[in-house]
């Protein structure tokens, strides 16, 4: 028995020795696994290399990357100026030397004008009683076919949509050579967002002929249009109380914004300052309850009134209190005629923005045709980089001096 135990012990020792040898060999010849790569050491070594190489490394290792771009005289286009690793990869990529010839060629003009289009109802009618796509005498409501044609026209004319809430902050993110356009809808007409019912999966069955139905269809066919719009609603929202929350959530989840048109479509020139705060504050409060912080603090002035900012009610449109609910309006829209100035223009006033009526009038009186014809003279044309403001040397005086990262050409 003793002998056998001893032999067993001996065998056991032998096995241990073999395991130890294998382990040492493994340590020596083991291939370097991904977990062995010290990202903090490896990643900075990509400085000076092409971003494609780093992109590949990032992809292979399932890392997050945060890219920033700048024009640079030393590093050619697409080369990495600087790169760091700190939980994710932070990289600064060169856009190469500024090519002012490209600006000239594309006629880049970031002090040009931006159209903020004003729509109301979208009506599916083939009854063309009025001029062009107008559904009523003044063209406040538009046929669904005309609205589809408008979107195609904007797209084909080199316009790309931006959010109103970005425009007022000076964020204009459209590609080089393209121009921004903003779409707005007032009044919360049912035909802006008409729900036909719910699909089996619980999602909304949206009428393809209503404004959002048409916008969503356009989005699928033209992903680069960056489809978005701001809807200015009243107490009845989209007049389908059963779907209030579903509709609002669909809008904010799909890149649209919801703003304030007062609870009762109030004419601010006919009410008291107390009532002003009620119709504005109550509407914000309602949106706040349904959407928390996901609505925009922007007002479309009903009837475009008051016409002057000097009106005694005006300060209460911007700032006020309703039953202890404080509000601050970031921007206010008028019923206007011509496109607005660039947010970088020293005359830019986000609290009194003009809009263009989306209607037809045979190319007269600031209808769609005349607005876009006039824009050919002074439209905003992007350099493709939202962090840089590229303007013509001759426009220097028009620039708001609070901005940095200016390139003159
Ligand atoms: Zn209205």
CA of 231 to the centre of ligand 1 (A): 11
Dist. CA 130–CA 30, nearest whole Å: 80
Predicted local confidence at residue 8, as pLDDT:
56
Question: How far, in Å, from the CA of 316 to the mean position of ligand 1?
Answer: 19
Q: How far is the CA of 187 from the centre of ligand 1 (A)?
A: 5
Among all chains, which residue has been given the structure tokens 């035909």?
A: 191
Distance between Cα 29 and ligand 1 center (Å) = 75
Mean residue pLDDT of the chain comes to 93
Helix (H) or strand (E) holding 149: helix 144-156
- The 3-state DSSP class for residue 142 equals strand
Are 292 and 248 within 8 A, CB to CB? no
The string of pLDDT tens digits covering residues 361-383 is 999 999 999 999 999 999 999 99
Centre of ligand 1 from the C-alpha of residue 260, in Å: 10
| pLDDT tens, residue by residue, 8-61 | 566 777 777 777 777 777 666 655 555 557 888 899 999 999 999 999 999 999
Six token digits for residue 142: 């538009």
Query: If residue 327 lies in a helix (H) or strand (E), which one and from where to where?
Result: strand 325-328
Give 219 Cα–ligand 1 centroid separation in angstroms.
26
How many angstroms is it from 53 CA to the middle of ligand 1?
54
CA of 173 to the centre of ligand 1 (A): 29
Say how many Å lie between the CA of residue 390 and the centre of ligand 1: 36
What's the pLDDT at 36? Answer: 57
| Distance (Å) of CA 144 to CA 122, 155, 192, 358 | 5, 17, 10, 13
pLDDT tens, residue by residue, 211-232 = 999 999 999 999 999 999 999 9
Q: Determine the distance separating the centroid of ligand 1 and the alpha carbon of 254, expressed in angstroms.
A: 24
88 or 298: which leads in pLDDT: 298
* Segment 307-366, tens digit of pLDDT: 999 999 999 999 999 999 999 999 999 998 899 999 999 999 999 999 999 999 999 999
How far is the centre of ligand 1, averaged over its atoms, from the C-alpha of 233 (Å)? 9
User: Structure pTM?
Assistant: 0.81
Alpha helix positions (H), 304-346 = 314-318
């Amino acid at each position: 028995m003793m002998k056998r135990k001893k032999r067993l012990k001996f065998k056991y020792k032998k096995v241990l020795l073999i395991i130890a040898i294998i382990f040492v060999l493994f340590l020596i010849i083991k291939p370097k696994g991904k977990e062995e790569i010290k990202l903090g050491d490896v990643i900075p070594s990509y400085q000076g290399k092409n971003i494609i190489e780093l992109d590949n490394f990032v992809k292979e290792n399932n890392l997050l990357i945060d890219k920033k771009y700048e024009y640079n005289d030393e590093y050619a286009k697409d080369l990495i100026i600087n790169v760091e690793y700190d939980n994710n990869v932070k990289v600064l990529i060169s856009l190469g030397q500024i090519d002012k010839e490209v600006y000239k060629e594309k006629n880049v003009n970031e002090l040009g004008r931006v159209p903020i289009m004003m729509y109301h109802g979208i009506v599916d009618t083939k009854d063309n009683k009025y001029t062009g796509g107008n559904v009523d005498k003044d063209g406040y409501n538009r046929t669904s076919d005309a609205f589809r044609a408008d979107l195609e026209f904007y797209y084909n004319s080199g316009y790309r949509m931006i959010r109103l809430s970005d425009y007022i902050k000076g964020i204009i993110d459209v590609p080089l050579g393209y121009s921004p356009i903003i779409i707005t809808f007032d009044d919360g007409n049912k035909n802006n967002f008409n729900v036909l019912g719910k699909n089996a999966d619980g999602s909304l069955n949206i009428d393809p002929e209503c404004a959002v139905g048409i916008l969503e269809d356009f989005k699928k066919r033209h992903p680069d249009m960056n489809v978005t719009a701001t809807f200015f609603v009243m107490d009845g929202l989209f007049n389908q109380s059963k779907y209030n929350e579903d509709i609002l959530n669909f809008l904010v989840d799909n890149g649209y914004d919801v703003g304030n048109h007062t609870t009762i479509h109030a004419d601010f020139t006919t009410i008291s300052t107390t009532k002003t705060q009620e119709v504005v504050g109550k509407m914000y409060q309602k949106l706040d309850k349904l959407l928390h912080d996901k609505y925009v603090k922007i007002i479309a002035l009903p009837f475009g009134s008051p016409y002057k900012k000097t009106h005694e009610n005006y300060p209460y449109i911007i700032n006020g209190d309703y039953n202890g609910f404080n509000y601050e309006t970031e921007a206010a829209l008028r019923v206007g005629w011509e496109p607005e100035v660039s947010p970088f223009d020293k005359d830019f006033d986000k609290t009194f923005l003009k809009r263009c009526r989306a209607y037809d009038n045979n190319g007269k009186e600031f209808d769609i045709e005349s607005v876009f014809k006039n824009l050919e003279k002074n439209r905003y044309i992007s350099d493709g980089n939202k962090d840089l403001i590229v303007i013509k040397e001759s426009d220097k005086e028009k620039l708001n001096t609070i901005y940095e990262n200016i390139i003159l050409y």
